[in-house]
Structure 1
Amino acid sequence: MSTHKAVLWKIRVCHLFFNSPRRVRITRLHGVRGLVTTPSASSPKVCIVGGGPAGFYTAQHLVKTRPDVQVDIYERLPVPFGLVRFGVAPDHPEVKNVINTFTQTAQHARCSFHGNVSVGKDVSVQELQEAYHAVVLSYGAEGNMTMGVPGEDLPGVYSAKDFVGWYNGLPRNRDLRPDLMCETAVILGQGNVALDVARILLSPVDILKNTDITQPALDSLAKSRVRRVLIVGRRGPLQVACTIKELREMVSLPGTRPQMEASDFEGIAKTLKALPRPRKRLTELLLKAAVETPEEKELERRNSAQKAWGFRFLRSPVEILPSADLTRTTGIRLAVNRLESKGEDVWAVATGEVEDVECGLVISSIGYKSLPIDPAVPFDARKHIIPNTMGRVQQSAGLYCSGWVKRGPTGVIATTMNDSFDTARTLLHDMDQGTLDISTVKGGSKEVTALLEKRGVKPVLFSDWEKIDSEESRRGETRGKPREKLLDVGEMLKVAWA
C-alpha cells in the first residue's frame, strides 16, 4: 500500500470510529489489522445460559453470522467449557482442543462470559428475558438416571457422571472418595462413558500421571486393587453403544487383556455382511477381541497382563447385594435376558433367571437427564427435555434451547455442534422474519449485572477465568502435567479476583 493510500485509509478509519452509530474499532487478530463491529445500545442482545459446548457453539454461530448481535454467556461455575473440561477423559487431550475455538468465541468483541452466576437462583429466566431480546437455554444434563433397584444407595455404588466428575475435578464431586480396594468392578452400560471409566480404572498410573486428571484421583488410582472390570449391557453384542475408537483403546490398553464369554457371540459372524459399515467394523473388532486366537505377539502381551476387562451381555441389574452389616457393596444380582425384535427395534426381555456377580464397586453408566431450571420454563418431566420445535421453546416467545436440554443426552461433541448451529439458525431466522422483536432497546448484561450486584453476586469474566487457567497450568507444570485443576469454587474465586 502506498503512503498516500495508507494515510487516506487511516483517515477513513478515524471517521468511521468517531461517527458511525455502531462504532468501529481497530483490532489486531492473528497479526492482521482489521475492522470489527462493536455493539451499540440498539444491537440485538442474546443471552445464553450454560457455558458448555452447546452454549459456546450457539454463541459462535450467532456472532459469526450476524455482525450486530451481542451475545452474553452465563455459567453457574466460575470456569467455562462444561463437559469438555469435566466430562472428556483426561487421556483424550485431543478432544479438548475444541477449547481453543471456544476461547476465540469468548474473546470476540461481541461476546462475553459471565461465570459464577446461577440462573434460576441468582437471576430468573424472566429477568433475563426482560434484559435480552432472546434467551437460549443450553445448560445440559446435570441429573443422573437411577437404576431403581434395591441397594443402589449403598456405599460402593456410584453414577458414572459423579465418578467422571471426581477424576476430572468437578467441584461438587471432589469429596466423592470412591473405595477402590476391591478386585472386581461392575459398570452398568456399554457406551463411551462406560468405556472411559473402565479405561481409567485399569490404566497404568504412569500413563495417567501425564494428563490433567486430578491429583487426589491419581493418588487413589495408584493404590487401587481393582484388577477386573465387567461392562454390563441389557442387550447383545450387536447393540453395544460405544464407538470403535473407544473399543480399540480398551483392546490395546497396556497391562490388560479382554475376557469375554464366547457363547455370547454365537452366530454373530454370520450377520456381518448385512450390517452398516460403522457397526460392521465395530462388531469385527469385538469378535477379534472376544473369540479369535490372537497373533503370537498379542497373545504374549495378554498372557502377561495382570488386569482384565470384558463385556457381559443380556444382563440387567436387579439388586445391589450388601455386606452383612449393610455398610458396603459385596455384589450385584443381574437378570438374564433374551432379545425380542420387531423390524429394526430390538429389546431385552427377562427370562426369569438371575446371576450374582461378586464385586465391591458398581458404577451406573445408564445415562444423564436434564433438570428444570426455572418454574417459568416449560419442561417435559418424562423425556427430561425442554419441549421445543427446532430449538424454539414451545409457547414461550423469545426463548430457545440447544444441546442436551433440547434433544436429550446423546451424541458426541460434533452432534452438539450441529444441533447448536441449528438453534442459532432458527433464532437468526426469527430475527430476520420479524417473529422475534428486536426493535426495542434492551439493557443486556448491564441490566443483569446491576441486579446481581444488588444480590451480592459477582460474575467471573473471561479475563478472570484466564487467571484461573494460568494458575492451573503453573501448578500442573510443577508435576509434569498440562494442568492441575482447582477443585474448590472458593479457591477459584480467590484466584480469579486476586
Structure 2
Amino acid sequence: MRHIAIIGSGPAGYYTAEGCQKTFGDTARIDILDRLPVPYGLIRSGVAPDHQSIKNVARRYETVALSDTVRFVGNVTVGTDISISELLDRYDAVVLATGAPADKSLGVAGDDLPGVIGSAAFVGWYNGHPDFADLAPPLGGGDAVVIGAGNVALDVARILAKAEDEFAGSDIAAHALGRLRDTHTSTITLLARRGPQQIAMTPKELGELAHLSRALPVVDPADLPPPESDAALEPGLRKSVSHLRAFAERRDDKPIRIAFDFFARPLRIEGDGQVERVIVARTAIDDAGEVRDTGETYAVPASLVVSCIGYRTPPIAGVPYDEKRGRFANVDGRIAPGLYAVGWARRGPTGTIGTNRPDGFAIAELIAADIPPNSGKRGRADLDVLLAERGVAVVTFRDWQKIEAAEIARARSGAPREKFATIDAMLAVLR
C-alpha cells in the first residue's frame, strides 16, 4: 500500500489523483487536502462565471472524489494546521498542487495606490472566493484600465462591460452583480505592450466581445500589420487577429467602449490618494522581436486598474522555492525525496486546464518509480489523529455536497448556484 497526500483540489490535484488511481488501483490511498471547505480550485473561483460549460469538468473530478481510494480533506491549511514535514512523516508521497493563486507584482511606481487591483483578487471577487469577498473595487468612475494581453484580461473587460441580463445562467457572486449593476464605466482600455499578432487571447474569448449588448470593442486600424502577414500565424492566432480586424471596421455606437491599446507599456500609475491615470510608454517591436520604448509617453485616465500580467505560487515553509519563476523549485516535478509538484506549482502559470491531466499522470509514474510499497507509513489514519488533536474541523466530500446543495437551493432565478462567499457560511451548513 502507498499513502499519497495531494495539496490542492483544483484540476492539477484531481488529475494527479486520477493518475494515481490508474497507476496503483486499490493499492494506494489518496488524500486531497485543501484549505477551503470546497473543492475544485480554479474551476470554482478562476473560470469566468459566464463560462459554465468549462466548469462542467468538475463532474469528472467528482467521479474521482467519490471512489473508494480517494478522500477530500477540506478546511485544512498546510503550513498552519500541519507542516510539510509532518505530512512527509505520515505519507509515502506528498504532491503540491496548489496552483498559482497570487498575482505577479506590476512593479511600477504607484501600483500600490487604492484602485489598483490584481486579476487574482478581482476575479476572486466576482467569483465569490472567500479571500476577496470584501474587495469593494471602485466602480463608480468612468474609466477602467486592464493591463494584459491574455484571456484573463478579456474576462475582466467582459465582466465589467456586460449588462445585468447578460449574466443570466452564470454563477457570478451576488455581491459582485449588485456592484456591477450600478457601475458607471464608459471606457475600458486594454493595455498590451506588444502588437495584435503577439496576443495570447483565444478566438472564442475575443469573439464574445462582438456580441455584448452595450459595449463596442475598438481597435485602431493603424495598430494592425498588413493583412498578408497573418498567413504566417498559427491558425488560432490568425483567427484571433481576424476578430481584431473586424473590430477595427466597426462603426456602430454603444455606451461602453472596450479600447485595445497595443504597443503600450505602463510606466507608472498616478493619483492623489486614489488611482487617477496610467502613464504609458509607446513601444515598438524591433527586428529581433524585442519590445523597446519609442520615447513617446501619454496618460490614460483610470478610476480602476486591473493588472492581468500573470500569477505566482505562494511559498510554503520548508519547500525550496524558485523566486524568479514564481513556483516551487523542482526537476521534472521532483522537489525532494517523497515531495513533488504538479501543474502550475511545478511549471508556472502556463497551459490550459487540460494540460494538467498528462502532468498529473506523469507525477503518478514518478511516484511509482521512486516510492516502494509497504513503507509502514499510515497516511490518513495518522493524519486524522493529528488533526483531531489540533481541533481542526475537517470537511469531507460528502460535507461539500451538502454545501453545494445549499448553494443550488439559494440560487437566483436562472443561476446554477449562489456561492457562499465566507468560510463561516460554508461551515454553518454543516452545523
Q: TM-score, normalised by structure 1?
A: 0.84
- 3-state SS of 1:259 partner: strand
Q: 1:313 aligns with which of 244, 256, 262?
A: 262
Report the counterpart of residue 331 of structure 2 in structure 1. Answer: 389
Q: 2:277 aligns with which of 328, 331, 335?
A: 331
Between 128-137 and 379-388, report the one with greater CA deviation.
Answer: 379-388
- 3-state SS of 1:388 partner: coil
Report the counterpart of residue 481 of structure 1 in structure 2. Answer: 415
Q: 1:404 aligns with which of 340, 344, 355?
A: 344
CA distance in 1, matches of 2:405, 2:356: 28
- 3-state SS of 1:485 partner: coil
Between 305-314 and 221-230, report the one with greater CA deviation.
Answer: 305-314
Alpha-carbon offset, residue 473 of structure 1 = 0.4
1:437 maps to amino acid: P
Alignment of 1:240-279 (within 5 A): 240-265=199-224, 267-279=225-237
Q: How many residues align?
A: 430
Alpha-carbon offset, residue 348 of structure 1 = 1.2
CA distance in 2, matches of 1:185, 1:55: 35
CA distance in 1, matches of 2:359, 2:226: 34
Alpha-carbon offset, residue 150 of structure 1 = 1.7
Report the counterpart of residue 361 of structure 1 in structure 2. Answer: 304
- 3-state SS of 1:47 partner: strand
- 3-state SS of 1:424 partner: helix
Structure 1, residues 373-401: CA drift from partner, whole Å, max 9, x if none?
122x11111111222222122xx111111
Q: 1:204 aligns with which of 118, 141, 163?
A: 163
1:417 aligns with 2:365: no
Contact 1:48–1:137 under 8 Å retained in 2: yes
Report the counterpart of residue 26 of structure 1 in structure 2. Answer: none
CA distance in 1, matches of 2:69, 2:54: 26
Alpha-carbon offset, residue 184 of structure 1 = 1.5
Structure 1, residues 124-183: CA drift from partner, whole Å, max 9, x if none?
111111111111110111221111112111121111110000000010101001111111
Between 141-150 and 457-466, report the one with greater CA deviation.
Answer: 141-150
- 3-state SS of 2:194 partner: coil
Contact 2:219–2:245 under 8 Å retained in 1: no
1:287 aligns with 2:259: no
CA distance in 2, matches of 1:112, 1:167: 29
Report the counterpart of residue 104 of structure 1 in structure 2. Answer: 63
Alpha-carbon offset, residue 341 of structure 1 = 4.1
Q: 1:57 aligns with which of 11, 15, 23?
A: 15
1:127 maps to amino acid: E
- 3-state SS of 1:351 partner: strand
Alpha-carbon offset, residue 65 of structure 1 = 3.0
**What root-mean-square deviation, in Å, do the aligned CA atoms of Structure 1 and Structure 2 show?**
1.4
1:103 maps to amino acid: E
Structure 1, residues 239-268: CA drift from partner, whole Å, max 9, x if none?
111111111111222222122211111x33
Alpha-carbon offset, residue 209 of structure 1 = 4.3
Report the counterpart of residue 348 of structure 1 in structure 2. Answer: 291
Task: Please tell me whether Structure 1 or Structure 2 has the larger radius of gyration of its CA atoms.
Answer: 1
1:251–1:418 CA distance, 2 compared to 1 (3 A): farther
CA distance in 2, matches of 1:436, 1:463: 30
CA distance in 2, matches of 1:248, 1:170: 27
Q: 2:46 aligns with which of 71, 81, 87?
A: 87
- 3-state SS of 1:317 partner: strand
- 3-state SS of 1:278 partner: helix
Alignment of 1:41-56 (within 5 A): 43-56=1-14
1:271 maps to amino acid: S
1:183 maps to amino acid: G
CA distance in 1, matches of 2:65, 2:226: 49
CA distance in 2, matches of 1:184, 1:104: 45
Report the counterpart of residue 34 of structure 1 in structure 2. Answer: none
Structure 1, residues 55-106: CA drift from partner, whole Å, max 9, x if none?
0110011113321211110001111000100001010000000110111111
Contact 2:221–2:245 under 8 Å retained in 1: no
Q: 2:107 aligns with which of 133, 144, 148?
A: 148
CA distance in 2, matches of 1:445, 1:436: 17
Report the counterpart of residue 220 of structure 1 in structure 2. Answer: 179
Identity of aligned residues (%): 39
Alignment of 1:366-385 (within 5 A): 366-375=309-318, 377-385=319-327
Alpha-carbon offset, residue 425 of structure 1 = 2.6
- 3-state SS of 2:201 partner: coil
Contact 1:209–1:218 under 8 Å retained in 2: no
CA distance in 2, matches of 1:387, 1:341: 34
CA distance in 2, matches of 1:445, 1:338: 56
Higher relative contact order (CA 8 A, sep 6+): 2
Contact 2:23–2:364 under 8 Å retained in 1: no
Alpha-carbon offset, residue 418 of structure 1 = 2.6
Gaps of 5+ in 2: none
CA distance in 1, matches of 2:410, 2:113: 36
1:192 aligns with 2:132: no
CA distance in 1, matches of 2:237, 2:414: 39
CA distance in 1, matches of 2:358, 2:160: 32
Structure 1, residues 345-383: CA drift from partner, whole Å, max 9, x if none?
x321112221101121111001110121122x1111111
